[in-house]
Amino acid sequence: MADLERRHLPVIPSHNANPLLDDPRLESLTSWDADWGGLRVVVVGIGISGFAAADTLIELGARVVVVDGKDTEETRAKAETLKIVGAAEVLLGEQAMTSLPTVDGQPAELVVTSPGLRPDQSLLADAVANKVQIWGDVELAWRIRTREGRKTAEWVCITGTNGKTTTVQMTEAMLQAGDLKAIAVGNVGTPILDALRDPVDYDLLAVELSSFQLHWQYSVSPLAAVCLNVAEDHVDWHGGFEEYVADKSRIYEHCKVAAIFNVADDRTLRMVEEADVIEGCRAIGFTAGHPEPSMLGVVEDLLVDRAFLDDRRNQALELAAVTDIKPVPTVHGVANALAAAALARAAGVDADKVGDGLRAFEPGAHRIQPVAKTNGVLWINDTKATNPHAANASLSAFEPVVWIAGGLSKGTDSHELVAKHAGRLRAVVLIGTDNQNLLDALEQSAPGVPVIPAASPETDVHDGDAVMAMAVQEAHRVAVDGDTVLLAPAAASMDQFRDYVHRGEAFTASVADLVERLS
């Protein structure tokens, strides 16, 4: 594919309700050493990213008011810490979130929001109405990344409906294998702002970005970027699927070296074609099939590179074997590995070091994670499958399946997923409280598959641990030698669990109890 040579003006997509405003003071804030002193900032949210934003702004000399809708022991403890280090004020409770507060009795000049808050939330809507700029922690991080006397790390950025965390961790391993000081940050868990304040001078940051984070960033200019895939998810937050796609597409804006797309997902190619990238940025594809020139792909069970070499029309560089992918070399896993490899190669990592990094990579828990085998039945924890697109990856890898599914649908549709995999389902064990769409899909496409609720009249449907214990018990009752019991809920978890990690831990603990009873 030819190089993308497009203008590189900072064009802000029209879907964003709060684009960069004409504010000379904010425009000048493009480094750690800029004049942040006295800037009046409201930080919305005191969670991981919000706390990091407030702490950073205080260190920069800004005047900070922090607001959070939760008034709990945890938020009060964080509030006390911020007050000690110099926050002007911390406001907790639902009433604090209704309108934009003043800072030292004067109007706020900037709002920095935590990514989970919807753009139509009352305080944020008030900021927009009063023409107060809203940034996310990613925008703030990009603006302070340059600091006198410190190395400025390049960014490689990863988004997608599914596979982000695995891919960013693979990328980190490949960059480190290439003797680069690199760390995975962002939505993966470590705030970008914390990494920037770390005394380590990083060469590269591998940045996982959610659609929420991308919505509130404007200036990031990554060395390379990838959108792994796009499917229905978080449509309730964004207001519609096209709005969700538009926010995902911001990953490619101002990309410098490689805009990496998924050959199997036409939307990602269209995102690259429509992006305003830096002149000379190349479009690089990845595919689980045979690669064309300027792509990475698979040839004879090898991962290969036909993009980052001179004679790409006639040659390919071997990167690794498909079997080097852990824990299971699914099609989804192959795609993630190739996307990570493309990012690493764009950053200058040698082909053999990419393979070394892939082999050194240890996948995190909760992503197609084998947890036990009982009487010939394999138990798999894929609680990270929080939407139908993610569940498709693990359902494709196993047969026959006793499927533990259900939760908060977030406005997604399971009909296509069920129709595709109905033939491999032995039974479905339902958890969750928002399953009508899934039930309709099962009735339509898998009418002969038993559907078993993971609750009795005595079960508290909001007690996730009890519900999961019942789900494991029911799955054990129907599974036979050769089956896989797969927790791949295709839905969010917050109706019955703290988060997807809690859901996966409840599954793992219940399976461990089962193993102990059977031994």
pLDDT digits (tens, 9 = 90+) for 373-394: 999 999 999 998 998 988 988 8
Instruction: Give one DSSP letter per residue of 150-179, joined into a string.
Output: S---EEEEEE-SS-HHHHHHHHHHHHHHTT
| Residue 4, pLDDT score | 40
Q: Which residues contact 363 (CB under 8 A, 6 or more apart)?
A: 166, 169, 326, 327, 369
**How would residue 239 be classed by pLDDT, with cut points 50, 70 and 90?**
low
* Residue 235 predicted with pLDDT over 80: no
161 assigned binding-site residue: yes
Backbone angles phi, psi at 110, to 5 degrees: -155, 145
pLDDT digits over 19-74, tens only?
Answer: 677 789 999 999 999 999 999 999 999 998 999 999 999 999 999 999 999 999 99
Give the pLDDT confidence score for residue 232 in this predicted structure. 61
Are 225 and 257 contacting, i.e. CB atoms less than 8 angstroms apart? no
DSSP, res 239: T
Architecture of domain 24-140 in this structure: 3-Layer(aba) Sandwich (3.40)
The least confident of 106-110, 209-213, 467-471 is 209-213
**In contact, 166 and 187? CB cutoff 8 Å:** no
**Which 8-state DSSP code applies to residue 493?**
-
Residue 386 marked ligand-binding: no
Query: Could you tell me the two tokens for 420?
Result: 């595709």
Model pLDDT, residue 328 = 72
Q: What is the DSSP letter of 223?
A: S
Q: Is 166 annotated as a binding residue?
A: yes
- Residue 433 is assigned to a ligand binding site: no
Q: Nearest Cα to 358, choosing from 305, 292, 308?
A: 305
| Lookup result for tokens 């499958």 | 385
Cα 72 from chain centroid? 27
| Helix 331-346 with 351-360: angle, nearest 10 deg | 130
Q: Cβ(97)–Cβ(65) under 8 Å?
A: no
Handedness of CA 63, 68, 71, 75 (dihedral sign): negative
Provide the pLDDT for residue 118: 87
The rounded percent of the chain whose pLDDT value lies above 70 is: 94
* Structural contact between residues 40 and 106, judged by C-beta atoms closer than 8 angstroms: yes
| Phi/psi at 58 (5° precision) | -65, -45
Please count the other Cβ atoms lying within 10 Å of the Cβ belonging to residue 24: 6
| Rounded average pLDDT over 429-449 | 95
What does the pLDDT look like over 145-204, one tens digit per residue?
Answer: 999 999 999 999 999 988 898 999 999 999 999 999 999 999 777 899 999 999 999 999
Identify the CA nearest to 229 among candidates 217, 244, 212, 207: 244
Percent above pLDDT 90 for the chain:
78
Q: For the CA atoms of the chain, what is the radius of gyration? A: 24
Average pLDDT over residues 2-14: 34
Residue environment code for 129-167, b if the CB has 16+ CB neighbours within 10 A, otherwise e: eeebbbbbbbbbbbbbbbeeeeeebbbbbbbbbbbbbbb
Task: Give the pLDDT band of residue 243 (cuts 50, 70, 90).
Answer: confident
Residue 333 annotated as binding site: no
Q: What is the pLDDT of residue 80?
A: 92
> Token pair for residue 489?
């809920």
- The two tokens of residue 429 are 């064990």
Phi, psi of 330 (to 5 degrees): -70, 170
> What are the residue boundaries of the structural domains of the chain, listed by start?
24-140, 151-360, 369-518
The CATH superfamily holding the domain 151-360 is: Mur-like, catalytic domain (3.40.1190.10)
- The HSE-up count of residue 78 (CA atoms within 13 Å, CB side) is 22
DSSP H helices, 71-227, are 73-85, 122-129, 137-144, 164-177, 192-197, 211-215
Question: Dihedral of CA 274/275/280/281: which sign?
Answer: negative
| pLDDT per residue as tens digits for the range 75-115 | 999 999 998 887 668 999 999 999 999 999 999 999 999 98
Q: How far apart are CA 387 and CA 284, in angstroms?
A: 27
Q: Is the peptide bond before 363 cis (omega within 30 degrees of 0)?
A: no
Rounded Cα–Cα distance for residues 513 and 511 (Å): 5
Do 282 and 261 form a contact (C-beta atoms < 8 A)? Answer: no
Residue 362 is predicted with a pLDDT of 86
- pLDDT at residue 365 is higher than 80: no
Residue 274 has a pLDDT of 95
**Residue where the block lists tokens 């000049």:** 109
Give the C-alpha separation, 324 to 307, whole Å: 21
User: Measured between alpha carbons, how far is 409 from 164 in angstroms, rounded to an integer?
Assistant: 20
Task: Name the helix (H) or strand (E) containing 320.
Answer: strand 317-321
Q: Is the pTM of this model over 0.95?
A: no
Alpha carbon distances (Å) from 22 to 18, 39, 134, 342, 361: 12, 16, 13, 37, 45
Average pLDDT over residues 394-399: 89
Fold of 369-518: Protein-Tyrosine Phosphatase; Chain A (3.90.190)
pLDDT band at residue 237 using 50, 70 and 90 as cut-offs: low
